[in-house]
Amino acid sequence: MKKSYKKANLAIPLIIIGVVGVLLFSSPAISEDIPITLWSIHNAISNVNMTNHNITNIQELCDGQECYTLEELNYSILSYNISNLNNLTNPKLVGFAVKNSTTAISATTWTVVSFSSEIDDNDNAFSSSTYTVPAGQGGIYSISGMFTFASVTDGNRYIVGVEVNGGGSPNVTFLLGRGVNGATQLAGVGGSVRWALSAGDTIRMVVYCDNATSGYNQNGYQTFSAYRIGA
């Protein structure tokens, strides 16, 4: 039976599905007269040239009634911005990571920690001590932090926490870690929590130490980060 070829443009979604299919799977070519599915579209394309967006080694697609030659629609691929597919393999991380601090720690009160070195801040949303959730990026965040006190005397407490939507006198919303020293020495403590944040919310690391004379900061042993992990 003579085949008829449909030369009209297929919908752009069909082409997108085909391109995604060839990126995700690998299998032998299909035969004719089976329904056109994501699997069959993939198998009809054996190679995608991601440099010039051309499709080569094209085979036919048949749905039992008509056959389609994707090669005739190659020009449609050229009009589609393949770079949009980068989000599938290189998703943008929303959040920040900072380290190092020379903040002086006052005894028996909560102190906001300022950081001197940014590791990551994709949205330029962190400034000195404060991260502000960008517009449209509210959701569940994984928040982590660690702080090292240079010297805490025997029996004194040390606490590391996070303040949400502060701005006035420092206070703590939730704790990352706490402890009591058994000897006068370095004391490092930290932890991680998941917390729901909305666009515009702010977070800051805050620390506390009972030691009235030596509850100060050991520069180079502090980290603070938060990354969005879900809506």
Q: Which residue matches tokens 């048949």? A: 62
> What's residue 173's pLDDT?
92
> What's residue 214's pLDDT?
46
> What's residue 207's pLDDT?
92
> What's residue 23's pLDDT?
47
> What's residue 68's pLDDT?
56
Of 54, 59, 53, 23, residue with least CA distance to 40? 59
The 10 Å Cβ neighbour count of residue 38 is: 14
> What's residue 163's pLDDT?
96
The answer to whether 108 touches 210, Cβ cutoff 8 Å, is: yes
The domains of the chain are located at: 5-88, 95-230
What is the DSSP code string of 65-95? Answer: S-EEEGGGGHHHHHTS-GGGGHHHHSPPPPE
Ranges of residues in the chain with a pLDDT under 50 are 4-8, 20, 22-34, 72-73, 75-80, 214-215
> What's residue 94's pLDDT?
95
CA distances from 20 to 35, 39, 193, 196 (A): 18, 11, 36, 33
pTM over 0.75: no
CATH code reported for the domain at 95-230 = 2.60.120.40
Distance CA(92)–CA(54), nearest Å, equals 27
